[in-house]
Amino acid sequence: MYILVINPGSTSTKVAVYNEKYCLFNHSESHITQELAAFRNIMDQKSFRKRVVLGTLEIYGFRLQDIDIFVGRGGLVRHLHSGVYRINEKYIHDASVGLNGQHASNLGGILAYELAKEAGLHKKAYTVDPVVVDEYDDIAKISGVPEITRVGAFHALNQKAVARRYAEEHAGDYDKLNLLVAHLGGGISMGVHKQGRIVDVNSALGGDGPFSPERAGRLPCLSLIEMCYSGKYSQQEMYSRLVGCGGLYAWFGTSDVRDVEAMSRNGNQQAKMVLDAMSYQVAKEIGSCASVLKGEVDAIIITGGIAYSSIITDFITERVSFITPNVVIYPGEDEMYALANGVIDGLSGKREIFNY
C-alpha cells in the first residue's frame, strides 16, 4: 500500500512515499525567496507546488495512479481535537480561505485531496494533527482582553509524535504521562502534555512565547503598539517584523542558527548574547509550564531542528533539570513519518478517523 505524504513549508515542499510504514523516499525541494515572491498569496502557489509534487513522483518512478492513500500536512483550519481526519470539501474551503490565517501548510490537505481525486477509484485524502489542534483546558484560553482567546497555531504534529515516541521507548502510556515538549524550529512552541492532551501551549505562529530564528515572540505590548502607530511601518511590514523577519533574522539577517553559532565562536559577543537569550526564554517557558502540572513532570522533551545544537540544549537543560532530571533530546522532526504512521494507525483501528 503506497502512501503519498505532502508537507508544504514556508520555503520548501517535502514529498515522501511510504509502503505501509517503510519509507521508500523522502525528498525536500527548497524554494528561493524570488521564486515564491512571484505569487501574491499562499493559494496562488497551489499549481506551482502541485508541479513539484508530481515532478518528484516522476523522479522516483511513481505514477499518480500507483498511490493508494494521500496525506497532507494540516493547516490553519478550524480548531480541532488531536486525531486523524478525512479531508472533505469543508476542509478544502476552510484551508483555502485561511480560516485561522495563511500559511503554506494550508496547501498540504488541498493538494492531497486534489491529487487523490485525480488518481481516481475513490481514493481518499487525510491529515493528522493539524497546526490548530485545540485540547486546551478552558482556563488556559482566557486572556485579559475578552476579544482575544489564547488559542493559536503550533507544532502539534511533531509534539504529539515525539510524546508518543517517548512513551513507546520507555514502556509507558502516553495517556498516563505528564510531559513538557519544547519544539525548537523556525518558531518555538512549548506544549504541556497532561495524560494524552496538550492542555496548554503558546501560539508559536501568533506572536506568543520565546523568540526564535524567524519570530519575534512575546513582546512588551505598549512598545509594540507604539511601533504599530508610529507611521513608519505598514500592517504587512509589522507582520513581517513579528513573523518571518523577527528573532535571529532581525538581529543578524539570517534565520540559520548554525550561522549565528559560527559568529559566536568567532568572537561576536552580540551573537552569543542573543543565542543565550533565546535559550534563556525557552528555559523560562518550560519552568512556567511546569506549574501547569504542579511540578509533576515525567519528562521534558526538546525537539525540532535547533535541538541538534548541543550549545542550546545544554544551556536549557542546565536550567530546567531541577524540574526533572529526565530531559530527553529528540533532534529534528519526523513530520513525514508522523503523517504516514497516523493514517496507518487509523486504518488499522489503533486510532479513530474523524470526518472534518
> 31 with 11: CB under 8 angstroms?
yes
Task: Tell the burial category of 296 from Cβ atoms under 10 Å away from its Cβ (0-12, 13-18, 19+).
Answer: exposed
The answer for residues whose C-beta is within 8 angstroms of residue 150's C-beta and 6 or more apart is 136, 140, 141, 142, 143, 203, 208
**CATH number listed for the domain at residues 2-134+335-355:** 3.30.420.40
The answer for residues whose C-beta is within 8 angstroms of residue 163's C-beta and 6 or more apart is 174, 177, 179, 181, 191, 193, 301
156-331 shares the fold of 2-134+335-355:
yes
Report residue 90 as a C-alpha cell. 469543508
Chain position carrying cell 553559532:
261
Say what the pTM is: 0.90
Instruction: Give the closest residue to 216 by CA, choosing from 194, 196, 243.
Output: 243
Rounded to whole angstroms, the Cα distance separating 209 from 230 reads: 25
Rounded to whole angstroms, the Cα distance separating 70 from 50 reads: 13
Instruction: Give the closest residue to 303 by CA, choosing from 211, 187, 207.
Output: 187
* Per-position pLDDT tens, the chain of length 356: 999 999 998 778 999 999 988 999 999 998 876 788 788 889 999 999 999 999 999 999 999 999 999 999 999 999 999 999 999 999 999 999 999 988 899 999 999 999 999 998 789 999 999 999 999 999 999 999 999 999 888 999 999 999 999 999 998 899 999 999 999 998 999 999 999 999 999 998 888 999 999 999 999 999 999 999 999 999 999 999 998 899 999 999 999 999 999 999 999 999 999 999 999 999 999 999 999 999 999 999 999 999 999 999 999 999 999 999 999 999 998 899 999 999 999 999 999 999 99
**DSSP secondary structure letters along 219-258:** --HHHHHHHHTSSSS-HHHHHHHHBTSSHHHHHHS---HH
What is the residue extent of each domain of the chain?
Answer: 2-134+335-355, 156-331
Fold for the domain defined by 156-331: Nucleotidyltransferase; domain 5 (3.30.420)
Rounded to whole angstroms, the Cα distance separating 135 from 137 reads: 7
